[in-house]
Amino acid sequence: MAGRGMMPEAPMADNFTVQVAADYEQMSELAADAVSAAIEANPATVLTLPTGETPRGMYHELVSRIVDGRLDFSGVRFFCLDEYLGAAIDDEASLTGWLREVFLEPASIPAANTHLIPSTAAEPAAAAAAYDREIIDAGGFDLAVVGIGRNGHVAFNEPGSPPDSRTRVIDLTAASREQNAAYHDGRQMIPARAMTVGLGTILESRSIILIASGEGKADILRQALEGPITSDVPASHLRTAGARLRVIADAAAVSRLAG
């Protein structure tokens, strides 16, 4: 991963690692292995994990490890990454509701260890700042696992998001709303705004794992990993984490990387 296309003054960002999985199942297993290893090394890991189709297999694997006692998640402090503004956990489109169904409930994650995005707060800006303080008080993220949107977003840091951004309300792009409407067979209206943990907080994580799967992510992954580092492609900022960034992607997702 040489720094092709980078301006000379751009941060050196060539030393992230890319682990190529044969397929979705192997990507999911490698991502679960990385999360497990972090927790085994530090049972009080401060962790954030993404929602979406990409991490579904990782969650499936984590749930089975937790349920059969191979992984002790009881000391992990877990923070959600993003949620639609105004969405409550029981709303059909809720990302937190998705997370509850796919992970929190089947793995019996204690509510006391789980920090939910304050998406229904009466004063979202103040609540977002309070959420950032919770992350800081916990010591910051030890591990952030993130996905990449087809428009390059990370969590809901949409194109234009600066690398020092914090938890805030953001207008969703049409592309993101369309992508996420697909999870609901297009039937569900996706809200126009969301609250997301900022890129700055993600970039400060002691370790970052970017997961990507499938041909549909090949172009944007190439832009993020080999194009210019720019807020037009928020995921490109992840490269500034250098060796703290590990990409776990399947062969289809890396198929357009130059090398």
Binding positions for ligand PGA, rule: CB under 6 A: 52-54, 147-149, 153, 179
List all residues 6 or more positions away from 110 whose beta carbon is below 8 Å from its beta carbon.
74
- Active-site residue among 61, 83, 142, 153? 153
Show the DSSP H helices in the chain as ranges. 24-41, 56-67, 95-99, 124-137, 174-181, 199-203, 218-226
Query: Within 10 A of 126 (CB to CB), how many other CB atoms are there?
Result: 11
Q: How far apart are CA 251 and CA 137, in angstroms?
A: 39
- Contacts of residue 217, Cβ cutoff 8 Å, sequence gap at least 6: 54, 148, 150, 249, 252, 253
Helix (H, G, I), strand (E, B) or coil at 58: helix
Q: What is the nearest approach in angstroms of ligand PGA to the Cβ of residue 110?
A: 26
Q: What is the nearest approach in angstroms of ligand PGA to the Cβ of residue 147?
A: 3
Options 61, 82, 83, 250, the catalytic residue: 82
**Closest separation between CB of residue 202 and ligand PGA, Å?**
12
Known catalytic membership, residue 151: yes
Q: Is the dihedral of CA 243, 152, 222, 34 positive or negative?
A: positive
List CB contacts of 246: < 8 A, sequence separation 6 or more: 16, 17, 18, 19, 34, 207, 208, 209, 210
Cα 186 from Cα 243, distance rounded (Å): 39
Q: Is 40 a catalytic residue?
A: no
Which residue has its beta carbon closest to ligand PGA?
52
CB of 229 to ligand PGA, least distance (A): 19
Q: How far is the CB of 24 from ligand PGA (least distance, A)?
A: 11
Q: Which of 61, 83, 151, 226 is catalytic?
A: 151
Catalytic residue among 61, 158, 226, 250: 158
Task: Note if 82 is an active site residue.
Answer: yes
| Contact yes or no for 2/232 (Cβ under 8 A) | no
Minimum CB distance to ligand PGA, residue 204 (Å) = 19
Instruction: Reply yes or no on whether 9 is catalytic.
Output: no
Rounded CA separation 158/151 (Å): 8
Of the two residues 46 and 190, which places its CB atom closer to ligand PGA in the complex?
190
| Residue pointed to by tokens 């993600």 | 202
Question: Which of 96, 179 has the CB closer to ligand PGA?
Answer: 179
* Closest CB to ligand PGA among residues 66, 145: 145
User: Which positions are annotated as active-site residues?
Assistant: 82, 151, 153, 158
